[in-house]
Structure 1
């Protein structure tokens, strides 16, 4: 993409603060693509102009601003229709990019794994498909004035391009299906091993990866397990899965997922649906929010809406209000299902993991067992897979007081003497 741009937005919500933030976010998205914002043009309307996005007067003002600033591109804060893109380019003689294109570009640059690259490419092709008509408009006009033969060739070229894209989407989806199948096998193996899954979700740049690293450091000393973290939009596109082993011999899997954003293109949500399946199958969600951001409540609402759209329901949620240090709020502190913490300062991690344990290990029970010395392998099993609170040696065998899974207590019921 080119370097200098004017940002354009229409405020139809009559919410000045929310609109200003959306334009600020658009500038950050442009910056993430290496585009410098030279100017901004905004308009308050009850609804977006169907043909040119802006009203006639504002469109003329935009044309003058483009000439004055000599910019390469104009970036719009909404997804534009094919006809809007064509009309605006004709009126301004300047390249037009919408918010969706910008986000797709960032995703394409950030994608690292084969799966995320495939997902981004499928989303990009789906976005392009209805916009082929606009790019072939000149062919249509040529054909109309030069006889049926020319017009037919123009239409054939359009149909050929459309078919090529549809074939490419089918091919990529086939490859994605194979990767999804592998993911399903891995998930079934985890279910078989009865390991709970905790997923970090939230708005982009809320600090999910930083929080994941903080938890890993706290329990595993973070050796070779760190995930990529950086203060930028969409630092994480791949789903990272890490095993967390508690000092109580309890284990869970922690997953870090792609962040969400306002007006997240539906093509991307659809393409990343297989990745987001990890969230839908989780036993617990940690909703991470940047409480220092004035729009964090709106971010929370957007995240909840997207989760609802992908079918996430009836999964327990812990709200992790991150960056409480920046917001000058008291932390670490716990208020019901809310925890105020600072992932960067590694403060509040213990409180968070205590809350995680309370939810995902509530099916654990405390019981006392007397295990004959001849059954030493059972003692070894409890030492490996349960939290042994007491261990003593009686004449009849080893006496254990353990915190263990209900299933294990039932399995070894014949040795339970109290519990």
Structure 2
């Protein structure tokens, strides 16, 4: 055998061995794939492959917001709470009343109040609201009661919320967030929901929490070309927290436009009532003072009445009549509360305009409340903020059947225009109707008119909008009227002017 033949046989054997090894490797790979697909027992290598293949994005863990309403503080889940307050001014009784009101707010939000503490300080601690030592004591109370939330009787800064949560190790909510949550639960109309959402976003915007530049959404500018300019030239771009804030601002702008559009419709209805010279009365007052009950008693409107704070958020306007037959509108408005968050005052300003545009305000106060004077002061502050400070006011001391008679008499002495009533029993309602009739603006133009029978609509308007000074007479030529009416209605009656009964006969 020649050397060339030996080299050829050696090469063929190597090639055959290579082919055999490739075939074996292919068979092993195919076998592994079959085992993997059949989900049978497999060796360590195959188990590792399965683990890598099973790695999936877990739903719900993404930090990307599907909607800005998902951010923290949008909705509270209050169950078992401990209340804490800082008493900076006033008497001990004032502090206890404020804490009792906070407890009522927490219960209205659907929580169970386990305990309540307050501290005397010149001003709240800038770091933890109640001071580091008291915060540790509060943590012990939270742990012993099994509470899951701490509710503070004041509006806390973002830093105070974070620091206090770090100490007590449970959720911390301030008074403003609590009221916003109650409003969110009770808003029913499209406008009410939009107003609450706007107020919530105004509150949450400075309180968004994030991880700063570690959550950059994109590479920043600063370099030429598609690569962005190379190392040390790219900025962090828009961080996650900045993106959330921008999206919330965009949503707030959209809500403001929607509220403005809805306001136009309400303004149109108000202008129509004005054009018809129908006087308007607004019921205002502290939350849970009995405003809706009074509206039902005066008009039979059937508005929701509930022994809860902020049961009414959407304004209700009903038509009513005085004992003398004069028509007027009666509007039930959202209740006020001590330290009402300015976010809510701003968001509900359009609805509160019912108070500012009214001819008369029925300021309802709960006569059975431990401190009705502070309620009066709080409501008047908000009334001034919405530009209704100069509207005539009647103080209606409600719940007279349950109140201390001495307290009722004290209020009646302190307030110049006040009356005690009970919307539940009807006590004093007839006197209140008479006062409303006397206080409403009266028509100013005196007319004598002989209205033809085919213009009966004008006679009906005189009855509804004006005030008859003498009984109407039915003559052969029409209805003779002597009444006080508005200038607009007087102009329509001018063609039918008559001196009196004799004039009507001559006509």
Q: Same fold (TM over 0.5)?
A: yes
Are 1:87 and 2:168 counterparts?
no
Are 1:109 and 2:192 counterparts?
no
Q: Helix, strand or coil for the counterpart of 2:105?
A: helix
Asked whether the 8 Å contact 1:371–1:378 carries over to 2, the reply is no
CA drift of 1:248 comes to 3.6
User: Counterparts of 2:163 and 2:289 in 1: how far apart (Å)?
Assistant: 37
Question: 1:341 maps to what in 2?
Answer: 421
User: Counterparts of 1:394 and 1:276 in 2: how far apart (Å)?
Assistant: 48
Specify every segment of 5 or more residues in structure 1 that has no aligned partner in the other structure, as ranges.
Answer: 217-221
User: Counterparts of 1:155 and 1:329 in 2: how far apart (Å)?
Assistant: 64
Are 1:350 and 2:448 counterparts?
no
Number of equivalent positions: 400
Pairwise mapping of residues 153-168 of structure 1 onto structure 2 (< 5 A)?
A: 156-168=239-251
Are 1:39 and 2:39 counterparts?
no
Residues 209 and 289 of structure 1: CA distance in aligned 2, closer, same or farther (over 3 Å):
same
Question: 1:317 maps to what in 2?
Answer: 393
Residues 393 and 65 of structure 1: CA distance in aligned 2, closer, same or farther (over 3 Å):
closer
TM-score, with structure 1 as normaliser: 0.87
User: Counterparts of 1:395 and 1:141 in 2: how far apart (Å)?
Assistant: 91
Show CA shifts across 1:136-170 (max 9, x none): 2x456899xxxx99x97596111101101111111
User: Counterparts of 1:235 and 1:401 in 2: how far apart (Å)?
Assistant: 45
Residues 417 and 49 of structure 1: CA distance in aligned 2, closer, same or farther (over 3 Å):
same
Pairwise mapping of residues 383-394 of structure 1 onto structure 2 (< 5 A)?
A: 383-386=460-463, 388=468, 389-392=470-473
Residues 80 and 379 of structure 1: CA distance in aligned 2, closer, same or farther (over 3 Å):
same
Show CA shifts across 1:362-386 (max 9, x none): 335776x4638xx334676335532
User: Counterparts of 1:106 and 1:397 in 2: how far apart (Å)?
Assistant: 58
Query: More strand per residue: 1 or 2?
Result: 1
Asked whether the 8 Å contact 2:462–2:483 carries over to 1, the reply is no
Are 1:186 and 2:265 counterparts?
no
Asked whether the 8 Å contact 2:355–2:388 carries over to 1, the reply is yes
CA drift of 1:416 comes to 3.9
Residues 364 and 251 of structure 1: CA distance in aligned 2, closer, same or farther (over 3 Å):
farther
Tell me which of 195, 202, 215 is aligned to 2:278. 195
Tell me which of 256, 268, 288 is aligned to 2:332. 256
Q: CA RMSD in A?
A: 2.9
Asked whether the 8 Å contact 2:215–2:239 carries over to 1, the reply is no
Show CA shifts across 1:306-330 (max 9, x none): 1111111321111111111111439
Asked whether the 8 Å contact 2:278–2:329 carries over to 1, the reply is yes
Q: Helix, strand or coil for the counterpart of 2:403?
A: coil
CA drift of 1:77 comes to 0.4
Are 1:64 and 2:140 counterparts?
yes
Specify every segment of 5 or more residues in structure 2 that has no aligned partner in the other structure, as ranges.
Answer: 1-76, 217-230, 502-507
Residues 2 and 316 of structure 1: CA distance in aligned 2, closer, same or farther (over 3 Å):
closer
Q: Helix, strand or coil for the counterpart of 1:415?
A: coil
Tell me which of 450, 453, 473 is aligned to 1:376. 453
Mean alpha-carbon deviation: is it higher for 5-14 or for 332-341?
A: 332-341
Pairwise mapping of residues 261-276 of structure 1 onto structure 2 (< 5 A)?
A: 261-276=337-352
User: Counterparts of 2:238 and 2:166 in 1: how far apart (Å)?
Assistant: 21
Are 1:208 and 2:284 counterparts?
no
* Structure showing greater Rg: 2
